[in-house]
């Protein structure tokens, strides 16, 4: 199963995503929660905590920094850059805005 | 005064910005309200029924070969101020309103409007209007130069973890922005006495306004009315009035 949660800002996407992910996790499914927001907050709703959520290194930054020979596959990315959360949900952050536009 | 409202999605930026712009105009200032959210909300809180006030196609040209800059720009000879005079809508209380174009089917039309909008906001005369901007949720636009006019970013924060975290991120990014705007916090949906203090502690920012949780604002939205038209004496509108007074006294804002 692959679902994406969309909607207006503040309408409850992150909270809904987190509850769905943890519910599936509790039923024994292997769940990956992908935070695709450039302002990633999913970790908080999953219960990973504020400090850890803010520290999560995004996948793209890692890719940009590393001199990768081949584009790594999905499983590789998730295992390298994801974080384990409650109910066996693995969280990965796709991108994050770190710096203002230089020019 | 030149301010832009920033914060997490759903924090209350549009509701507060629209009310703020109307109240500022009532105090006698010429006000230009700018919505750069592709999911626009400012028109409604200003009291306009339409949410579509994009810059028309014929005001925008594709850049010629060899010319530097983004693909589209304002028609040659058209200044930012002239574009506002021509294309900004008139909202109640004399507020002028300009929007950067909403997400529709046709991507190219939107890009044209947005590139032109970006040029207009970079080219506003210093003192002709007080400017009130409404930005989309999150740090993206503030960080990428969509509010170059803003001397002050008004960060709308709820006393909630995700809202506070978003607020801290935006404040951090603002510190590195070229235009180096001041960042002040406006606490929204205040429900209990400790809420304002919580925001102060968590963001380290000066708090210039505190807007209480107000069912009238939600009701205004259900009825598609501007908060200031639906409930002008409600506690939230009153609090926004105090915010206007607080900021209007300081010319450098
Ligand atoms: N202080 C408040 N009390 C009650 N409802 C509020 C308050 N502030 C905002 N709202 C409501 O919350 C919803 C989201 O606000 P909106 O201004 O659209 O957020 P944003 O522009 O930051 O995404 C709207 O329905 C608005 O009327
Ligand atoms: Mg809005």
Residue pLDDT, tens place only, B62-91:
988 888 888 888 999 999 999 999 999 999
Answer whether B165 sits within 8 Å of A37, measured CB to CB.
no
Q: What is the pLDDT of residues B20-46, one digit of tens each?
A: 999 999 999 999 999 998 877 899 999
User: B240-250 pLDDT, tens per residue?
Assistant: 999 999 999 88
> For B14, which residue in chain A has the nearest alpha carbon?
A9
Q: Examine the pLDDT at B154 and tell me if it is beyond 50.
A: yes
- Mean pLDDT across the stretch B106-133? 87
pLDDT at position A103: 37
Mean per-residue pLDDT, B227-237? 98
Residues of B with CB under 8 A from a CB of A: 8-11, 39, 136-140, 143-145, 161-162, 165-166, 169, 173-174, 176-178
Each residue of B188-210: b (16+ CB within 10 Å) or e? bbbeeeebbebbeebbebebbbb
Kindly indicate the confidence band of residue B156, based on its pLDDT and cuts at 50, 70 and 90: very high
Provide the CATH number for the domain around residue B212.
3.40.50.300
Instruction: Judge contact between B187 and B158, C-beta under 8 A.
Output: yes
Please tell me the predicted confidence (pLDDT) of residue B57.
84
Mutational pocket test of ligand 1: of B4, B11, B15, the residue with most ligand atoms within 8 Å of the beta carbon: B15
List the domain range (segments joined by +) for residue B236. Answer: 2-48+94-101+128-248
Residue B182 has what pLDDT?
A: 94
> What's the whole-model pTM score?
0.92
Q: Which of the residues B16, B68, B165, B175 would you substitute to probe the A interface, choosing the one with the greatest number of A C-beta atoms within 10 Å?
A: B165
CB atoms within 10 A of CB B175: 11
Answer whether residue B30 is part of any domain. yes
- Better pLDDT: B187 or B179: B187
Confidence band of A97 (pLDDT split at 50, 70, 90): confident
Residue B150 inside a domain? The answer is yes
Closest approach atom of ligand 1 to CA A9: 23
Q: Can you tell me the mean pLDDT for A9-33?
A: 96
Write down the mean pLDDT value for chain A: 86
CB contact under 8 A, A44 and B145: no
Per-residue three-class SS string for chain B = CEEEEEECCCCCHHHHHHHHHHHHHHCCCCEEEEECCCCCCHHHHHCCCCCCCCCCHHHEEECCCCCCCCCEEECCCCCHHHHHHHHCEECHHHCEEEECCCCCCCHHHHHHHHHHHHHHHHCCCCCCCEEEEECCCCCHHHHCCCCCCCCEEEEEECCCHHHHHHHHHHHHHHHCCCCCCEEEEEEEEECCCCHHHHHHHHHCCCEEEEEECCHHHHHHHHCCCCHHHHCCCCHHHHHHHHHHHHHHCCCCC
CA B25-B30-B36 angle, to 5 degrees, is 85
* pLDDT score for B104: 62
What's chain B's average pLDDT?
91
Q: Show residues of chain A in contact with B137, CB under 8 Å.
A: 9-10, 39
Contacts from B177-180 at CB under 8 Å and sequence distance 24+? B177/A100, B177/B142, B177/B143, B177/B145, B178/A100, B178/A101, B178/A103, B178/B145, B178/B148, B179/B148, B179/B150
CA gap B63, B68 in Å, rounded: 8
B143–A8 CB contact, under 8 Å: no
Does residue A55 come out as left (phi exceeding 0), alpha (psi in the -120 to 50 range) or beta?
alpha
**Which comes out higher in pLDDT, residue B111 or B239?**
B239
Q: Is the predicted pLDDT of residue B51 greater than 70, yes or no?
A: no
Domain edges within chain A: 13-93
A39: pLDDT strictly greater than 80: yes
Sequence length of chain A is: 103
pLDDT band at A78 (very low <50, low <70, confident <90, very high): confident
Tell whether A101 lies on the interface with B, counting CB pairs under 8 A. Answer: yes
Could you tell me if the ipTM is greater than 0.90? no
Helix (H, G, I), strand (E, B) or coil at A54: helix
Overall number of domains in chain B: 1
């Amino acid at each position: 199963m692959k679902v994406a949660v969309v909607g207006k800002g503040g309408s409850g996407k992150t909270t809904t995503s987190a509850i769905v992910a943890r519910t599936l996790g509790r039923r024994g499914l292997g769940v990956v929660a992908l935070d695709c927001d450039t302002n990633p907050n999913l970790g908080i709703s999953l219960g990973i905590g504020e400090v850890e959520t803010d520290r999560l290194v995004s996948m793209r930054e890692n890719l940009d920094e590393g001199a990768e020979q081949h584009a790594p596959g999905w499983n590789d990315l998730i295992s390298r850059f994801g974080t384990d959360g409650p109910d066996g949900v693995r969280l990965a952050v796709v991108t994050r805005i770190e710096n203002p536009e230089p020019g | 005064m030149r301010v832009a409202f920033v914060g997490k999605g759903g924090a209350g930026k549009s509701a507060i910005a629209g009310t703020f712009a109307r109240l500022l105009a009532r105090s006698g200032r010429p006000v230009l309200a700018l919505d750069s959210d592709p999911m626009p909300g400012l028109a409604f809180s200003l009291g306009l029924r339409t949410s579509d006030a994009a810059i028309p196609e014929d005001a925008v040209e594709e850049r010629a070969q060899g010319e530097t800059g983004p693909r589209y720009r304002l028609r040659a000879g058209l200044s930012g101020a002239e574009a506002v005079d021509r294309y900004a809508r008139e909202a109640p209380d004399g507020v002028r309103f300009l929007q950067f174009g909403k997400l529709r089917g046709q991507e190219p039309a939107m890009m044209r409007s947005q590139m032109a909008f970006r040029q207009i906001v970079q080219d506003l005369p210093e003192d002709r209007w007080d400017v009130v901007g409404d930005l989309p949720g999150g740090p993206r636009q503030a960080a990428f130069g969509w509010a170059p006019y803003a001397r002050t970013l008004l960060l709308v924060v709820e006393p909630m973890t995700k809202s506070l975290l978003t607020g801290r991120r935006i404040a951090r990014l603002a510190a590195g922005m070229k235009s180096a705007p001041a960042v002040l916090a406006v606490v929204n949906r205040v429900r209990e006495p400790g809420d304002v203090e919580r925001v102060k502690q968590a963001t380290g920012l000066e708090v210039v306004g505190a807007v209480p949780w107000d069912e009238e604002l939600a009701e205004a939205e259900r009825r598609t009315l501007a908060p200031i038209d639906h409930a002008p004496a409600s506690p939230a509108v009153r609090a926004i009035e105090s915010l206007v007074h607080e900021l209007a006294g300081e010319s450098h804002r």
